[in-house]
Structure 1
């Protein structure tokens, strides 16, 4: 009986691992060439894009058509139009003719909270400038799907080694690495993070055997199994649309991941496109935006600079304007105001 229970547990575990691998493999697929089997992209729409048609069942819109605010969905007789709403990351079905974002479906969540991030500093009590500590870079954000994330941090000039500490409920491991290492793949010998648990990540900078300073503790939650399943299914649906990889990363995957503030996953999908050699300025600008949300201005500045170069080369004035807005926030981070005027309160 015990043996049967263990076998079932192992099978269940393998199923969930496979589902996570679906997400991971999709991110890797974004790094492949988009020359094979891709749907021809539509001309850029000059409107606020808020979704996409994902089925062949609308009288006007082809499958993969981008939808804007005010667009009407008109199902064929007896058919259902499937769509993806970028405002909330949900796949929505329409059985009757209706305006895409007028119905109480494709909308921003009523309970959405504006978080304090580097991209949204007006929600913060104050902006911290650069510090001389081993500030954590990844994992990105406060929630993630990954159970074996890469842990990375900024170097500290005088450090001779770093100690990475990961802790949680009845969970702890630490590992000391040489000063030349500032990115640690999750150690194979350590127990992986568990679903629906919260963990603390800290990096200590050492001189000899003595810690000299420490990063701020990063608290990250791993989503529960049911949510992992749901994300695996959504990523699968996006993959089956056979979109150009840049387009999938910019619109669809980012919308699905950011609906739950999964910065770790959307940053990794955008980085995959960078590694693949994308020349799309939006990839770099969006990656910079997400880095800012993760309070990583150095990384954001690097990607904004690349985005600006590509936007200038293609005379993409819209992206260039967005880059300039992002650069203002980077400057604000690097040179935070020293005082608050009465009319700024």
Structure 2
């Protein structure tokens, strides 16, 4: 069992999904979002080498990579999806309370630049090929102000004595407590890319991808962790 201590915070547990964060003066009042309770199966995100395998997914569908089944920190999310061979442009839509935004692009990504999103509301992002025959849909929620302040405060209290790996794990755990699954994954995969993989990082990524039901990425990191001499 991992036990990390830092100012105002104590984290217990091996997997992030089973970890418990106790923050002094912080009350966790999150309700589990509907889209995270029963996430749709989505394609895996790109690995640390920039490869984006589709697995058995339909290559004619622009499967959304992010944001997907997660709260988000930014109200200007970068929307990414798998490129479809032969597609010359894509139609991207975001729909939500009093919002109908759309744009076209030739790239497999675009940054939302429409009207201000409403914190705490659920939005749908839809990406379709130019012919309209193939599309994918995902959901996200922009974190509310109180929760964002809790996160900033919790991160600010992290001990400066933490190793880079301990810091990455601690920040990812804080994100996960607020259902910021994509952000937690990004922190750990950035650490993996910059400093290499360890058993505990792979274990946490396996657990996070299980929570959002990305079985291909679960398998990928399980295989990475099957190295006979993984780092501790």
Kindly indicate which of the two structures has a greater share of residues assigned to helix: 1
SS at 1:211 equivalent: coil
Q: 2:91 — aligned with what?
A: 163
1:218 aligns to what SS in structure 2? Answer: strand
CA distance in 1, matches of 2:100, 2:40: 30
Task: Pick one of 122, 145, 148 that aligns with 2:76.
Answer: 148
- Are positions 1:84 and 2:10 aligned together? yes
| Structure 1 residues 112 and 197, CA gap change in structure 2 (3 angstroms) | closer
After TM superposition, the score normalised by the length of structure 1 is 0.51
SS in 2 for 1:143: strand
Aligned to 1:246: 165
Shift of the alpha carbon at 1:315? 7.4
Alignment correspondent of 1:205? 129
Cα offset, 1:138, TM superposition: 0.5
Residue 303 of structure 1, CA deviation:
3.5
CA distance in 2, matches of 1:294, 1:183: 21
1:267 maps to what in 2? Answer: 185
Can you list the C-alpha shifts for 1:195-223, whole angstroms capped at 9, x where unaligned?
233211110022xxx211110x2221112
Over 3 Å counting, the alpha-carbon distance change for 1:276 and 1:167 in structure 2 is: same
Q: CA RMSD in A?
A: 3.2
Q: What are the equivalent positions in structure 2 for 1:88-167 lying under 5 Å apart?
A: 88-92=20-24, 115-116=37-38, 130-132=57-59, 133-167=61-95
Match of 2:155 among 228, 235, 239: 235
- Specify the alignment match of 1:320 in structure 2: none
Say which SS state the counterpart of residue 133 (structure 2) adopts.
strand
Indicate the residue corresponding to 1:25 in structure 2. Answer: none
- For 1:220 and 1:296, the matched residues in 2 are separated by 16
Contact 1:139 1:149 (8 Å CA) reproduced: yes
Give 2:50's aligned residue.
none
The CA distance in 1 between the partners of 2:162 and 2:40, in whole Å, is 30
1:276 aligns with 2:204: no
Q: Is the 2:198–2:231 Cα contact (8 Å) retained in structure 1?
A: no
Give unmatched runs, 5+ long, in structure 1: 1-47, 56-81, 94-108, 120-128, 317-345
Asked if the contact 2:129–2:135 (Cα under 8 Å) also holds between the matched residues in 1, the reply is yes
For residues 192 and 280 of structure 1, what CA distance do their matches in structure 2 show? 40
Q: Secondary structure at the match of 2:125?
A: strand
* Structure 2 contact 40–213 (Cα < 8 Å) conserved: yes
CA contact (8 A) 1:165 1:175 kept: yes
Q: TM-score, normalised by structure 2?
A: 0.72
Partner-residue secondary structure (3-state), 1:173: strand
Structure 2 spans left out of the alignment, 5+ residues: 13-18, 42-55
